[in-house]
Structure 1
Amino acid sequence: MGIDIHNLNLLAHAQDLGVRYERTLAIGRQALFIEPFELEDHRRLRGLPPLAEPARAAGAPRYFEPLMQQWLGAREAESVDASSYEQATHLHDMNLPWPEPSAQRGAYDAVLDFGCLEHVFNFPVAWRNVVDLCKVGGHVFHSLPANNLSGHGFYQFSPELFFNLYRRENGFELLGVWFAVKGDRRHWWKVANPMDVKRRVNLCNSHEVYMLVLARKLQDIGPLPAPQQSDYAQDEWVKGPSAAGAAAAPTTRQRFVRQLAEWGLIDALRAGRERLRAMQRAGLSLPEPDYQQVDVHALIRKSR
């Protein structure tokens, strides 16, 4: 759980959009996983003063509180964890509903889920805690594994989930969903909403990909219905398909594939096809039109 350069850039971009951090809560006490040269590049881009941090022992982690307070204007930077090992402000297992009444519910201008909820088995409860802790008019941040990170936590996440959760009818405004490729710190990829393009937005590539999400809470919310994936919520699926016609005759392609299978060639050809696809996906770019490249430095640079 921590703030890397992508997460720091997301915090900066959100600040430019008017997000306030006066009282910030992090899910997990956030350590800084940012190289000194990255931090200096960011400081110069944003026109910020040098960051003053408390002295620490060699090898000890750097935590997020000085950065939030000095660069982002936080008056209070709190954290919650199930364990006291990193001395979080609040102790709570996010698998369990947040106690009520409590002073923390609806108290925070910004709630940061940077690398936490993938480690919590009961995701629906943990997510509900996150949005319940955020005040009306406040903002929720997520940075979560999306692709090629199997084994990192319990889950990898599809953008479909957050497009579905952060809908106006649920009491939210979704300000952005981006993919960040770990090997490319200069770019994000804005993700298309499956409901807008009327199809699934998939990704198969060869690099670790994180998803960045920013949403504004518009109102206090009551119980919400379980999300349905967007294509399953379309009329045909909800109302039922039209009557099935007679079985169609096999196409030329289907007959050809069957013949290859009879000759014992199909497995070798498929293996070759997958190797070719892996080579094509080895680059850092993500495919248009579902993913639109964003120059992060141009996005967050402060004009002089």
Structure 2
Amino acid sequence: MVQDLSGKLDKKLKHRFDVIYDGGTCEHIFELPKAYRNIHRMLKPGGTLIGHSPCNNWINHSFYQISPEMVYGFWEKAMGYEVLHLTLQPLLPNFAKHVASTTNPNETGKRPRIKGDLPKNSPLILNYAVRKPLKKMASGSKVYQTDYVEKWKNDDAVV
């Protein structure tokens, strides 16, 4: 089965899957929000997206390096998904024991902070799993980084 995630979704794929695994596809799609929304459409209610994506120090590997803020901002806050798992892990095998989690910006009001010990200058992989809500929620919410939303609130700026 071949589906262009940045194109129009085949109707046969809507609400078809219990689990979708993104093992390094989406960061290569320029229209990333469209790809993510198509994944949302393909998942059944209660379905799970499992993702492994380059996060840091992968220069020229892809269009994007996916960050924890993307998972919390888009999947949790805008789409209403539950974050089941989120960790950062060094790519290099000799650092495999170094795995870190992050704070949740939707709880702290600040960009995610690393909780754990990661080696400096090592390429990092973001591992995450999110679950689609059982009830239909409005999708298409705008997504902004947490620090800016908090600043705009405090400055009474118009968004």
User: How does the TM-score come out when normalised to structure 2?
Assistant: 0.82
Query: Which structure shows the bigger proportion of residues in helix conformation?
Result: 1
Distance (Å, rounded) in 2 between the aligned partners of 1:130 and 1:214? 13
Distance 1:137 1:222, change over 3 A: same
Q: Is the 8 A contact 1:97 1:125 kept in 2?
A: no
The ranges of structure 1 where at least 4 consecutive aligned residues each deviate by more than 6 angstroms after the TM superposition are none
- What is the aligned counterpart of 2:37 among 113, 118, 128? 128
Counterparts in 2 of 1:1-304, with a 5 A limit? 90-99=1-10, 102-167=11-76, 170-183=79-92, 184-201=95-112, 205-218=120-133, 219-234=135-150, 236-238=151-153, 240=155
Distance (Å, rounded) in 2 between the aligned partners of 1:241 and 1:115? 39
Distance 1:227 1:169, change over 3 A: closer
- 1:168: Cα distance to partner? 6.1
Deviations 1:9-63 (A, max 9, x none): xxxxxxxxxxxxxxxxxxxxxxxxxxxxxxxxxxxxxxxxxxxxxxxxxxxxxxx
Q: Relative contact order: is structure 1 or structure 2 higher (C-alpha 8 Å, sep ≥ 6)?
A: 2
- Where 1:156 maps in the other structure, the secondary structure is coil
- Where 1:103 maps in the other structure, the secondary structure is helix
Amino acid at match of 1:142: G
Structure ID, larger Rg: 1
- 1:241: Cα distance to partner? 5.6
Q: Is the 8 A contact 2:55 2:66 kept in 1?
A: yes
The root-mean-square deviation of aligned C-alpha atoms, in Å, is 2.3
- 1:142: Cα distance to partner? 1.0
Distance (Å, rounded) in 1 between the aligned partners of 2:154 and 2:103? 26
Distance 1:171 1:227, change over 3 A: same
Distance (Å, rounded) in 1 between the aligned partners of 2:81 and 2:21? 16
Distance (Å, rounded) in 2 between the aligned partners of 1:106 and 1:171? 16
Amino acid at match of 1:211: L
Amino acid at match of 2:149: A
- 1:187: Cα distance to partner? 4.2
- 1:169: Cα distance to partner? 6.4
- Where 1:233 maps in the other structure, the secondary structure is helix
Unpaired runs of 5+ in structure 2?
none
Q: Is the 8 A contact 1:140 1:214 kept in 2?
A: yes
Identity, % of aligned positions:
25
* Number of residue-to-residue matches in the alignment: 150
Distance 1:241 1:169, change over 3 A: closer
Q: Is the 8 A contact 2:79 2:141 kept in 1?
A: no
